[in-house]
Amino acid sequence: MMLRLHVLALAALLCACSKKEEAPPAGAQGTATAQQPAKAALIPVGLVIDVGGRGDHSFNDAALRGLELYAAGKRYEAGKYVDASPDEVRQSLPPSLSSIAATLQPLPVKPLVLQSKAQEDYAPNLQLLVDQGAKLTIGNGYMLANAVRTAAQENPKSQFLLIDSEVLDAQGKVLKLPNVRTVLFKEHEGSFLVGALAGLVTKTGKVGFVGGIEVPLIQRFEVGYRAGVKTTNPQAAQSLMAVYTGSFNNMAAGKQVAQDLIAKGADILFHAAGADGIGVIQAVKEARAAGKNVYAIGVDSDQSHVAPDAILTSMMKYTDLAIYQATKDLVDGKFSAGEQVLGLKENGVGMADVRVDFPGKAEALQKVEALRQRIISGQLQVPAVHADLASFQAAAP
């Protein structure tokens, strides 16, 4: 009963927002005049974000950025949308992708966003967006895979985008649906870069990894990170400590495990834990305030603004660009089903700018860049699973 009331409340809210945004200007009386031409109808695009919610400074915020800032040209502020400037778009991209900023032109779309408070919300939220007329409905995260499958099968005339997972059938086998595009990322490649940097920067020779839920997707972050550390600092790789919190929306859990790792001597912590990672960053920030020379490595989005002095870099996953491209394809009438797999070569992952200073910074960044080029050229194959990690060997730059 509570779930039904929740869905009905969301429906009422969306209807109210829709009516408010589509109301004609005062004095127009709903009729276009020579002085006030009719505006082109906006195309509704829906997005269901995961339990980490808006404001995780990571995975969900990346998806919101792709739909709201890049596609709609809007900024969500105080519960409403306001126009964003081209500078805001440009500043949200790293210098390595600055040339892309000019291509991110606002599209005639209206974002419809629903946050999931629990896994039980996924299916009704997706269906609600379809019922509200969304021409493209986006499920952000592997945890929405089953819900997207159900929604796509029950609404064959609607288009869907699933981020971070393939569509799977009840037996766990890949299922190709004619109205679903899936986007996967080579997280291990981006994680390799930040691992290589961690191996070069650590002073204690001990580094750590904090994951959220221990599933193959998050393990790819860990494996890539381990491979990067192994390449530049084999001794640190042998003592690398990895812990999983078991969630993506528990900052307290992230902070606690990070404090434990710091107490054990880790001076660099890479997290792939959603909102739990904010707790990791907080623990590092407090440790630095207490005089310890420790750093955190963010994930999915550039998290340097969360704690400028405490963030060494961030492993970037450009979910925002993938969502923008899918939305543009929809607007251009070119949206198609199928699978995309994006790595370093495809600008799907990367490493954020390193804004903090440390001894040997310039040389360290040159070494990481050399490794990046080797991955892009195909000379270096980064392992994605633990089984391939033991035999992995790459010459240090």
Residues 353-391: tens digit of each pLDDT: 999 999 999 999 999 999 999 999 999 999 999 999 989
> Are residues 167 and 148 in contact, defined by beta-carbon separation less than 8 angstroms?
yes
* Cβ density class 143-178: b for 16+ within 10 Å, e for less: bbbbbbbebbeebeebbbbbbbbbbeeeeeeebebe
Question: What is the pLDDT averaged over residues 123-131?
Answer: 98
Statement: residue 259 has pLDDT above 90:
yes
Statement: residue 15 has pLDDT above 80:
no
CA distance 202 to 196: 10
CA 320, 57, 167, 193 torsion-angle sign: positive
Statement: residue 1 has pLDDT above 80:
no
Q: What distances in angstroms separate CA 292 from CA 195, 213, 240, one per listed residue?
A: 20, 28, 19
Statement: residue 21 has pLDDT above 60:
no
Half-sphere exposure for 323 (CA within 13 Å, toward CB): 34
CA distance 319 to 57: 13
Q: What is the pLDDT of residue 16?
A: 39
State the average pLDDT for the chain.
90
Q: What is the pLDDT of residue 95?
A: 82
Which percentage of the chain shows pLDDT scores above 70?
90
Statement: residue 28 has pLDDT above 70:
no
Question: What is the pLDDT averaged over residues 130-149?
Answer: 97
Non-local CB neighbours of 84 within 8 Å, separated by 6+ positions: 69, 73, 74, 75
- Name the band, by pLDDT with cuts 50, 70 and 90, for residue 257: very high
Statement: residue 217 has pLDDT above 50:
yes
Q: What distances in angstroms separate CA 208 from CA 16, 98, 211, 226, 397, one per listed residue?
A: 47, 31, 10, 9, 22
> Are residues 25 and 248 in contact, defined by beta-carbon separation less than 8 angstroms?
no
Give which of 114, 81, 82, 126 is closest to 14, Cα–Cα: 114
- Name the band, by pLDDT with cuts 50, 70 and 90, for residue 53: confident
H or E stretch at 298: strand 295-300
State pLDDT tens for residues 299-351: 999 999 999 999 999 999 999 999 999 999 999 999 999 999 999 999 999 99
Statement: residue 29 has pLDDT above 60:
no
CA distance 132 to 381: 45
**Phi and psi, residue 219, nearest 5°:** -65, -30
Question: What is the pLDDT averaged over residues 156-175?
Answer: 95
Two structure tokens written together for 343 = 């790595």
| 93 or 130: which leads in pLDDT | 130
Q: What distances in angstroms separate CA 23 from CA 31, 73, 80, 111, 315, one per listed residue?
A: 11, 20, 16, 16, 42
Question: What is the pLDDT averaged over residues 81-86?
Answer: 94
CA distance 11 to 217: 32
Two structure tokens written together for 369 = 């860049």
Question: What is the pLDDT averaged over residues 164-186?
Answer: 95
Statement: residue 263 has pLDDT above 90:
yes
- Name the band, by pLDDT with cuts 50, 70 and 90, for residue 4: very low
Statement: residue 33 has pLDDT above 50:
no
SS3 6: helix
Q: Tell me, what amino acid is at 77?
A: E
CA 381, 302, 119, 323 torsion-angle sign: negative
Question: What is the pLDDT averaged over residues 238-261?
Answer: 97
Q: What is the pLDDT of residue 39?
A: 62
> Are residues 48 and 137 in contact, defined by beta-carbon separation less than 8 angstroms?
yes
Question: What is the pLDDT averaged over residues 231-253?
Answer: 97
SS3 352: coil
- Name the band, by pLDDT with cuts 50, 70 and 90, for residue 104: very high
Statement: residue 38 has pLDDT above 70:
no
